[in-house]
């Protein structure tokens, strides 16, 4: 039984869930705190929908994960596809219920992205750039969702743009990492359809664009000096390293390391944005 519960925990991808929770929390902190009820329900909505999306993704990626990630709960046999599907439905419903307790706008956003995240796993993920765009948009909308929850969405625009660019670049790196399994299961990702070099070029464009755009809020006096220091030292140096390393060592093991680094880098980015308020 303990293995089963641990399997569900791993299935949810807790780091991703925590980042979603923190992204909405930071978005609300930037936009202006509302009632604790709205803050809590907004963060719970993001966490629940992320857990649900990760679970349904593993259901549809079972054959791919047998090759790329055999220790995940489904390919290892700890959890069945039916159990993972039920887990996903429960958390989608919990997320929608939580969003409905804030306001009608948050419920609509949560409903739209629940459908999109399901379609991402079932269909979009296997189409060139469509899946990358969908998951990046969903991540960016975590900030928009936080702004809508407190009715000050204009303050969430820059963080949403940062999240979109970072995730798009990371998603392409993940596609380069997963070429073997994706290819055997008929997925038409960018590196499979057009080759590794175009994927590297597009990733470089997105990450370099992110480095440039992160400078803009400081010069517009939106975020303060601490933001500039943290974002350049803690975030952009990592982005530059990822770009150089991706070209210097274009192998699966390195793509996996870079993907993990960029995930951690998201947390540093959240800290930079929060510090920029002071």
29-38 confidence digits (pLDDT tens): 888 776 788 8
Give pLDDT, residue 38. Answer: 87
Contact (CB, 8 A) for 147 and 156: yes
State the average pLDDT for the chain: 92
- What pLDDT sits at residue 120? 92
* pLDDT value of position 2: 58
pLDDT for 140-168, tens place per residue?
998 899 888 888 888 889 999 999 999 99
CA within 13 Å, CB half, 33? 6
d(CA 116, CA 137): 10
Q: Which residue range is the domain that position 178 belongs to?
A: 2-275
What is the distance between the alpha carbons of residues 218 and 69, in angstroms, rounded to a whole number?
41
The H-assigned helical ranges of 12-156 are 14-31, 36-60, 62-68, 81-100, 104-122, 130-149
Lowest mean pLDDT among 1-5, 75-79, 208-212, 238-242: 1-5
Residue 200 is part of a domain; what is its CATH number? 1.10.357.140
What is the rounded distance in angstroms from the CA atom of residue 241 to the CA atom of residue 41?
A: 37
pLDDT at 186 over 90: no
Kindly list the distances between the CA atom of residue 255 and the CA atoms of 91, 93, 239, 260, in Å, as whole numbers in the listed order: 30, 34, 13, 9
Q: How far is CA 79 from the centre of its chain?
A: 23
* Number of separate domains in the chain: 1
The pLDDT of residue 162? 94
User: What's the pLDDT tens digit per position in 208-240?
Assistant: 999 999 999 999 999 999 999 999 999 999 999
């Amino acid at each position: 039984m303990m293995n089963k519960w641990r399997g569900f925990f791993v299935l949810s991808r807790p780091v991703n869930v925590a980042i979603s929770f923190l992204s909405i929390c930071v978005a609300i902190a930037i936009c202006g705190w509302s009632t604790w009820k709205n803050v809590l329900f907004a963060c719970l909505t993001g966490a629940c929908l992320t857990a649900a999306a990760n679970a349904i993704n593993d259901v549809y990626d079972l054959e791919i994960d047998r090759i790329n990630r055999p220790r995940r709960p489904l390919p290892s046999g700890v959890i069945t596809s039916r159990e993972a599907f039920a887990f996903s439905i429960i958390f989608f419903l919990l997320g929608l219920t939580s969003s409905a307790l804030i306001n009608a706008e948050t419920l609509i956003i949560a409903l739209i992205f629940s459908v999109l995240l399901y379609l991402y796993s079932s269909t979009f993920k296997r189409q060139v750039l469509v899946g990358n765009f969908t998951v990046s948009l969903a991540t960016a909308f975590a900030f928009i969702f936080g702004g809508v929850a407190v009715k000050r969405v204009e303050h969430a625009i820059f963080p949403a743009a940062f999240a979109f660019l970072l995730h798009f670049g990371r998603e392409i790196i993940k596609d380069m990492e997963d070429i073997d399994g994706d290819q055997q299961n008929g997925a038409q990702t960018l590196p499979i359809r057009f080759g590794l070099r175009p994927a590297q070029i597009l990733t470089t464009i997105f990450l370099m664009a992110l480095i440039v755009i992160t400078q803009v809020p400081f010069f517009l006096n939106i975020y303060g000096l601490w933001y500039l220091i943290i974002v350049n030292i803690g975030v952009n140096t990592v982005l530059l390293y990822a770009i150089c390393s991706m070209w210097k060592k274009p192998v699966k093991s390195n793509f996996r390391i870079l993907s993990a680094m960029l995930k951690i880098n998201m947390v540093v980015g959240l800290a930079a944005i929060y510090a920029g308020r002071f």
